[in-house]
Structure formats: structure tokens, C-alpha cells
């Protein structure tokens, strides 16, 4: 009888214990740059078709056991997941090369890194211009 009571108390205690919540990202900064000499990583970039772009992010505290997702918002559409990114020492990177059909001269693409259950980076913008502009 005593064992059953102890087992019942332990079982109820386990059910009542708070669920472990993922530690949120306190700092999650992203930037983008064209992969050409002299370009700096910033909150936005301008590129033509075929110009390789490098997206980078830093998350604190480190989420090394996690992986991130890269999301983008094509102008006039909804957010879509476009890639999976490894996190090493709180740092992550992803690349994209705009192709034919990616040009929107007056509206920017938006990109952000997302760690499911932990948060997302700030959003960076990319203006992909056609050769005429």
C-alpha cells in the first residue's frame, strides 16, 4: 500500500512538472552581401542576375546542437522554406544566386534564418535588378 502511494505521488509529480521550454535566442542577427571584393555584410544588398549572395547570421546563446532553416519571401507571395543550415559556434551561412525570373526592380526579396522553437533572425532585404536598371 505504501509503495503504491509513493508510486502515485511520483507519477503525479512527473505529470505536474513544467515542460522543458527551448531557450530563446537573445541575439539573432543576420546580414547579406554580394560575393564580390569589397562588399560588406549589411541589412540589405543589391545584386543582378547571376551575382552570388552570401547570407550570414549569429545567434546567442549558441544553439550548436540545432540546425536552422532559411526562409525567403519572394515579392508579392508568402514566406517559404528554402534550405537547411548547420549552426557552428552560433554562426550560420547560406548562399543564393538570383536567376532569370528573380528580378523585381522595385520590390525587395526578404530572407531570415529560423531555428524552430527558438526564434528567427532579423530580416534582410535583397533587391535583384535586371540588366536595364
Q: What are the cell numbers at 56? A: 550570414
The torsion angles phi and psi of 14, rounded to 5 degrees, stand at: -65, -40
Domains of the chain plus CATH, in order, are 24-129 (2.60.40.10)
Write the pLDDT tens digit of every residue in 36-84: 777 899 999 999 889 999 999 999 877 676 789 999 999 989 999 999 9
How many residues are given for the chain? 133
Alpha-carbon distance values, 78 to 5, 15, 75 (Å): 54, 39, 8
| pTM tops 0.85, yes or no | no
Residue 118, pLDDT > 70, answer: yes
Band (1; pLDDT cuts 50, 70, 90) = low
Report which secondary-structure segment, H or E, holds 15: helix 2-16
Q: How far is CA 4 from the centre of its chain?
A: 49
- For 60: left if phi > 0, alpha if psi spans -120 to 50, otherwise beta; the answer is beta
Amino acid at each position: 500500500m505504501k509503495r503504491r502511494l509513493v508510486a502515485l505521488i511520483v507519477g503525479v509529480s512527473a505529470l505536474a512538472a513544467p515542460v522543458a521550454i527551448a531557450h530563446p535566442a537573445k541575439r539573432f542577427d543576420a546580414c547579406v552581401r554580394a560575393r564580390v571584393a569589397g562588399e560588406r555584410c549589411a541589412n540589405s544588398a543589391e545584386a543582378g542576375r547571376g551575382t552570388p549572395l552570401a547570407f550570414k547570421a549569429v545567434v546567442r546563446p549558441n544553439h550548436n546542437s540545432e540546425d536552422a532553416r532559411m526562409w525567403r519571401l519572394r515579392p508579392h507571395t508568402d514566406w517559404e522554406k528554402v534550405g537547411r543550415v548547420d549552426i557552428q559556434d552560433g554562426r550560420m551561412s547560406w548562399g543564393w544566386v538570383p536567376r532569370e525570373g528573380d528580378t523585381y526592380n522595385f520590390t525587395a526579396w526578404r530572407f531570415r534564418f529560423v531555428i524552430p522553437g527558438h526564434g528567427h533572425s532579423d530580416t534582410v532585404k535583397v533587391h535583384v535588378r535586371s540588366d536595364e536598371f
